[in-house]
Structures are given as structure tokens and as C-alpha cells.
Structure 1
Amino acid sequence: MAEVVHADVLEQILILLDVNDLISCVRVCKSWHSFITSPRFSNPHLTRSYNEDHYNNELGSRRVRLSHRYRRSLVGSSNGLVCIISYLTCKVLVGNPLTRVVRQLKLPRWMTHSPPVCSGFGYDSSKDDYKLVVGAEKRKNRTRVQALSLKSNVWRVIREVKYTFCTKIGILCNGALHWIVRDEKMNMLIIAYDISKEEFKEIPQPEGCQFRFSTSHLGIVKECLSIFGYTCKDDVWIMKKYNVKQSWELLPRHHEWKRNIIHYLSVPKDESYFHHDVGSWFSEHLSDLQFCIDAPIFVQSFVSP
């Protein structure tokens, strides 16, 4: 009974530590390493990190970007894991930039010759798994979508959709990846791919939106899906209640933004691990913030790929 109480007390202490302190703790002994790296600990620690970021008014949102993008693409981030496609080595890198634990996966054969027209990365809560989604253009307005499950490490064709993708990186929101597309009738749409259900659906657009969708982008503002342009003159819309048309809200031009912390990642030439830059860049103005709304939300965690 004493051992059980001791384990409970230990868990209550460790869960309050940040990832850098936990990295030191896993070196204490084998039992600590086994406990801290197990889902029994990493999942509640992840929940605490989410809550801590959510209620930190000085933080706004924590986001992640690549420092060097040549022949590499940051696909997304979920639960502290970051997914990068490297066209230099024809590999997918999924890792935790804080713990520097990385898995290397192979790209589909066709992606060694041409980049995908769309991609996205997210967590499948129904299977406790992570999925990378990519699309290849087969012909005009036809895209074949494939998915890679981290658990199975197998690429699988999901379906062929009748869209041309206008935005390449899927924005993760509410368990789904989102893109702006053009259908067969040249209509501009917002579509979502539910990662758990493996289904596509159309997301209603805001009434009276004057965006030129060919130059518009999707992002996340206040944990809500948003539409924005890349100039200060463009409007910013946010969907306050997911998938509800009436919930779209046009933000005032002089809206007071919370500052976002941007973490830059650099990938060494050997790609053996992610490096997380010590310095963070703070966005304080609307013109600056609009350039990072589409950056993936990042949460500190001890989750391993």
C-alpha cells in the first residue's frame, strides 16, 4: 500500500514539471524512465500542458515554424509531435522537438518525383494513432488522397476527390484537416477531412465574405478556424462555433490580438533529430500576426511518435 501511495505522490510532483525537467528525471533510474515515458503519465501531462497554455494570457498561442525550408515542408503539429517531409532524403520525419525523439518513415514512391498537392498531420482519437495525409493530382480536378498511420507504418489510398487544392497544408481544427479547394464548377470551397471517421465534408463559408479565395488562407485564431489574407487590408473571419455558418464573425480591423510565441525548428543535415531554437519571436501587430495564423499550434509534451 505504501508503494501505491508513493507512486501517486511521485506522479503529482512530476506532472507539474516542464519537459526539460522531465528529460533530466528519466535519467534518474529505470523505473522513473519507464513511468515518465508511458502513456499513463504522458497523456495527463499533455492535458496539463494544454490547459496551462490555454489560460496563459501572456502566451496567446504557441506555434511552430521551420527555420530552414529548402526541400523540406512542415506538414503540421499535434500533441507536441511535429511532422516534416524531407524531399532531400525522401523521408517523413515525425518527432518531438523537445525530447528529440524522432521516427523516420518513407514517402510513397510517387512523392520521390513530385511533391503532394495537399498534406496534413493530426491525431486519430478513435484509434490513439497519428496520421499523415497527402494528395496526388491524377488529372484535372481529381486528387487521390492517401494516409499513413504511424502505428501500422503503411500507406493506404483513402479515396479520389473531385477537387483542385488551392491551399497545400491542412489546418488542424476539431479533429479534422482543412483546405481551400476548387470544385469541378470552379466554385471555391472549404473542405474538411475528419481524421477519425476518414470522411470529407464541406464547411460553410461566412455570409458576405469578400475574400478572393485564390489568395486567401486558413488558420487558427483563439482555437477557432479562420480565413485571412496576407495583407493588413484583408479581413479576418473566425468560426466561433465549429461547422456552424451563423457563427462566422468578422473581426474588427483594429482588433487587439494576443501575442503568439513562435518556436523555430531547424533540421540538421543528418536529420537525426529536431532542434528547437532557444529564442522565440513575439508577434505584436496585426500585420505580423497574419503571417503566422496558419502556423501549427504547438504544445509542450512528452509524447513520443
Structure 2
Amino acid sequence: MSVHFPDEIIDKILVRLDPKSLIKFSAVCKSWRSLIKSPTFIHTHLSRTIQPNNQNDSHLLLLVSTKADTGMIYSFRWDNPEFSEYTRLIDRFADNEERSAWYLTVVGTCNGLVCLSLGYNKLRIWNPSVRRFVILPSPISEYIARYAFGYDSRNNDYKVLRTVNLPGQPECYQAEIWSLARGSWKSLGVGSTGRGFLSELIQQPALVNDAVHWVQLNTTKGENGIMWFDMVSESFGETRVPQCVTKMLMLTLRHEGNLALLTWDSASEYHPCSYDIWVMKEYGVEESWTKLFSARHKEFIIRPLCWRNSGEIVFKMFGGGLLSLDVQTEQIKYLTRDGNDCYFLDYYVESLVLLGEANAISY
């Protein structure tokens, strides 16, 4: 006796499965394949995955490191006290020369997608969960550029911002934007800030409220500030840092959905490194900056990488290893000391994005 389940019941069952299982089930029949690859199902699956009450203990961190003899290493780590490895990823989007190149960098990650720069104007958008990637076309201008990756929630679109400082004109910038939905670059024109604020777009920006944010020294207001680019309106803006901040080293982070600012002083033989952590409680309101913690330690670090759900901040140490600092107890825990040079760490959610993308390449 055969049992027939209504389509709505099948939909509710499938949307609860992980991407690896869904790819297998897409081979069951044409109707399931069509459903699983549809934009509506992919968006619904992602929305359910990123719900806070659906995360439980399944938080994943994407760790990218380099090793002298093997090149780039991509892996997922559990966000648990052991920082244990979930799986090692296989990349087929780069040849051997590109994979081992020192200039391969992670631009950012969002909703299961990873944006990678493979060198001079070579960009890839990669979803390791579904083993698919998109090769971006050549940009409009040929200058060496800075990149930022983000999500436009209004149009359900993923975008890459590309900015260059014009030769001989440090106060002027040229910007263009690539859209996954459009599949091409669009020029945003040439602008001027009087101080060339795009020259500092080097660290990974923090994606908050559909906008990417990064620290910029000497902004148009004559002080250190936070520059931002809104992925929906495709416009630039500027926000001041807290007025009482005196430390020169700064980095934007995301903390519980809010824009955060980490400021610190470098450690020396006689003076420990000190940190202040600020959070903008109300987005866009400069008066809402609130100091959450201050902490100190004596380790020599290069820069912060990620703010964990446990409240710990992960730093990259000299030598490439990672340490985790509990900002409340000031206790230090070493996460990796295996000789690999770790340079990127951020939260990752497994998704189906790119599964139904016609221009995506499977491997």
C-alpha cells in the first residue's frame, strides 16, 4: 500500500534538511529537483537556517589558513570550547598557482557564500556547501582595487563593492558594484572626500544592516571614523567613533547583530595590550555608542579576527596561530599552534545559495 504525502507536507520536511541531504534528495524525482533548486525554496531554507532559535549548538566557523607546502587550507570549525574541526573543504575554483599564491584573500562571507580574490582582478563567489562557484567578469577599470562583499536583503541579491584610489589623486576614488542577480559590474562614478577615505579598505569590513563598515583614519571630519557602504541604496556614508576613544588601532566587528568597534594598543615587553569594546546600541545613532568591556593581556598579537558567541574574541598571533580572549575574565586560550598561518575566521551558515544559479560551475 503506497502512501502519498501532500506537497505542503513534503515542503515542510525538506526545508528542515541540511544542504548535503537536499542535494541527494534532488535526484529522487524531477518535481523535488525543481522545488529544491527554486529561488523561493532556497530563500525559505536560508531564512529558517539563520533564525536565532534554530541555531542551537550547530554554529560553524570558517577558518582559512596557509601552509608552506600545500597552500590554502579551508575548514569548518565548531564554535565550541575545543574549536574542533567539522570538515576540511575541497576547492576546485583555482588552479595550483592561484591556490598557493600569497595574494589570495578572503573578501568576506555571507549566507553561505564566500567571496575570494585570487589576485589581479580575479574574483570568485563560492558556496562550499553545494560545491558551486561563480567566476566574476573583469571589472570596468583595471587599477588594483579593494573589495567588500555583502547582501542586499530588499532585492535578495549579493554584491561586491570594488573601489580604487585614482593615481596621483589620493583624495579621489572610483567605485563600481557587481550584482549576482545582474551578473555584471556597474560604475558608481568618481567621487571625492578630500582625504581619500577608501585607501584604508584593507581589513574585512563588518556587515550590519545591509551595509559594510570599516575603520578609516582621517575622515572628512578630520578624525578617525567609520566609513560604510549601503548595499541596498548603493551609497557611501560616514559615522563617527565614540568621542572618548584614544587608542589608534581600531577594527569594526559584528556583535549580536550590532555594529561593534574594537580599539587596542600594541603590547610591549613592559606594557600589556589593552582593549576597549564598544557597541552601537541603536544603528546609525552615534550617541548610542556604549562601552561593553575593557580587557588586557601580554601576548603579542597582529589583529582581531572574530567575536565568538561565547563572548570571546579571537586574535591572530605573531607566527600565525590563534588565541581566544575572554573579555570578562581576561583568560587566554590557545586555539591553534600547528604552524599554519591563520588569517581569516568568521561565522558560516550552510545554505543552498547558488544551487539554482544558471552561471554557477559545479565540481
Which TM-score bucket, shorter chain as reference?
Answer: 0.7 to 0.9
Task: Please point out which of 69, 72, 76 is paired with 2:104.
Answer: 72
What corresponds to 1:17 in structure 2? 17
Q: Which runs of 5+ in 2 are unaligned?
A: 66-71, 73-100, 267-272, 297-306, 314-321, 335-341, 358-363
Pair 1:172-2:195 in alignment: no
Assess, with a 3 A threshold, how the Cα gap between structure 1 residues 282 and 187 changes in structure 2: closer, same or farther: closer
Aligned to 2:361: none
Shift of 1:94: 0.7
Write the deviation string for residues 44-99 of structure 1: whole angstroms up to 9, x where unpaired: 1111111157753x46x6443433272212111222111111117x4211121111
Q: Which amino acid counterpart does residue 39 of structure 2 have in structure 1?
A: P
Take 1:106 and 1:36, find their aligned partners in 2: how far apart are those partners?
27
What amino acid is the match of 1:190?
Answer: I
2-structure distance, mates of 1:109, 1:77? 24
Q: Secondary structure at the match of 2:349?
A: coil
1:284, CA displacement in angstroms? Answer: 6.3
C-alpha contact (below 8 Å) 1:119/1:135 kept by paired residues: yes
> Is 2:124–2:135's contact at 8 Å kept on the other side of the alignment?
yes
Counterpart secondary structure, 2:20: helix
Whether 1:203 aligns to 2:245 is no
SS of the counterpart of 2:293? coil
CA contact (8 A) 1:259 1:284 kept: no
Whichever residue aligns with residue 348 of structure 2, its letter is F
C-alpha offsets along residues 102-128 of structure 1, whole Å, 9 cap, x if unaligned? Answer: 1111332655x63x1x32111223333
Identity %: 27
What SS does the corresponding residue of 1:130 show, helix, strand or coil?
A: strand
User: Does the CA-based 8 Å contact 2:173-2:192 persist in structure 1?
Assistant: yes
**Runs of 4+ in structure 1 displaced over 6 angstroms?**
none
Contact 2:147–2:201 (8 Å) recurs in 1: no
Counterpart secondary structure, 1:17: coil
Q: State the match for 1:91 in structure 2.
A: 122
> Does the CA-based 8 Å contact 1:134-1:146 persist in structure 2?
yes
Partner of 1:33 in structure 2? Answer: 33
SS of the aligned residue for 1:236 comes to: strand
Measure the CA separation in 1 of the matches of 2:170 and 2:133: 36
Residues of 2 paired with 1:103 and 1:12: CA distance?
A: 29
Query: Contact conserved, 2:147 with 2:161, CA < 8 A, in 1?
Result: yes
DSSP 3-state at the match of 1:197:
coil
For 2:15 and 2:63, how far apart are their aligned partners in 1? 27
For residue 126 of structure 1, what is the aligned residue in structure 2?
154
- Give the match for residue 256 of structure 2: 222
Partner of 1:259 in structure 2? 310
Distance 1:85 1:149, change over 3 A: same
- 1:97 maps to a residue whose letter is P
**Counterparts in 2 of 1:122-201, with a 5 A limit?**
122-138=150-166, 139-159=169-189, 160-162=191-193, 163-165=196-198, 166-168=200-202, 169-181=204-216, 182-183=218-219, 186-201=222-237
Number of matched residues?
Answer: 275
Cα root mean square deviation, aligned: 3.4
- Once the two structures are superposed, the pairs formed by residues 275-286 of structure 1 within 5 Å of their partners are 283=324, 285-286=326-327
Bigger share in strand: 2
Give the Cα–Cα distance (whole angstroms) in 1 for the partners of residues 49 and 247 of structure 2. 35
Gaps of 5+ in 1: 263-280
Contact 1:145-1:157 within 8 A present in 2 as well? yes
Q: Could you list the per-position Cα deviations for residues 222-245 of structure 1 after superposition, in whole angstroms to 9, with x for gaps in the alignment?
A: 221111146651211111221122
Cα separation, 1, equivalents of 2:325 and 2:312: 10
> Of residues 87, 96, 114 in structure 2, which corresponds to 1:82?
114
Deviation, structure 1 residue 147: 0.7
The answer to whether the 8 Å contact 1:62/1:261 transfers is no
Residue correspondence of structure 1 range 293-304 to structure 2 within 5 A:
295-304=345-354
